[in-house]
Structure formats: structure tokens, C-alpha cells
Structure 1
């Protein structure tokens, strides 16, 4: 599945909430999300932009998929399938 081109940082934070991520802080224009769903803490930082760049979105999703021990493609399908 192709990555969407119009996902905002706030929308991605909400979507990642399905996997146990919660916003722990905001510094300037960046959101810090933390998950303890796998028994260990995992932190990611998401820019709070109107539309994330495709490379930034891809890197964030790759990191989350590695933490969840899933493939990036499966994660993309679960998050963005309509």
C-alpha cells in the first residue's frame, strides 16, 4: 500500500493511539509519544506539521513497526486502510 500524502502529525498521533502510544509531552512543534505496550518503553517524536513529508512518515512507521515486531506494510495497511 502506498503511503498517504496528507497525514498530519496530530492525526498520526491519534492513529498510533490504537497501539498504546500516548502523548507525553510537546516541545515546540514536535510531539513526543510513549508506548509501554510491549513491556518496555518506546519513545517516538513526531513533527506537528499539517502534512508530514513521505520520508518522515516512512521513518516513523518503520520504527513503530520494529517496536511492534510487525512489518511496515502490515502497519500501514492497518492504520490507513479505509
Structure 2
């Protein structure tokens, strides 16, 4: 059975993206972004709760990673 994604707070999300080779976060329009070469990932704004699994799944899919690879970052 594949590993499940877990909700993360913004700080943990940024740490994982940095481990994946992204730089930033850089300020943008309404949201900040992180960049790796020509790839750009939009990072959710800070808020009280964790970032939900649905949004984490979308980010993982943009990175073309499996859940297991993401959890190992």
C-alpha cells in the first residue's frame, strides 16, 4: 500500500520544497512562489491551519513525485 500524504504547515512545505532543490519563497502577486530552473511552484499564504492533503497532492503532482518520494524529502 502506498504511503499516504499528510497535512503540513507552511514551514514544513517550504522545507520539503527546498530539499527538492527549490529556491525561495519569493514574493509574487497574491502568493509567494518557489523556483527551480524553469519550474515555478506557488506556495500558499500563511494561515492558521495546516495545508490540506488535496493541495499537497496537487503540488506533489506538479513536481512529478510519488507520495513515497515526497514523504522522504
Deviation at 1:19? 2.0
Q: Aligned partners of 1:10 and 1:64: how far apart in 2?
A: 18
Query: What's 1:3 paired with?
Result: 5
4+ residue segments displaced more than 6 Å: none
Q: Aligned partners of 1:10 and 1:28: how far apart in 2?
A: 20
Aligned residue pair count: 68
Query: Which structure has the higher relative contact order (CA within 8 Å, separation 6+)?
Result: 2
Deviation at 1:43? 0.4
Structure 2 unaligned regions, length at least 5: none
Q: Aligned partners of 2:9 and 2:31: how far apart in 1?
A: 12
Query: What's 1:43 paired with?
Result: 40
Deviations 1:24-57 (A, max 9, x none): 5135873310001xxxx11010113441121111
Query: What's 2:68 paired with?
Result: 77
TM-score (norm 2): 0.73
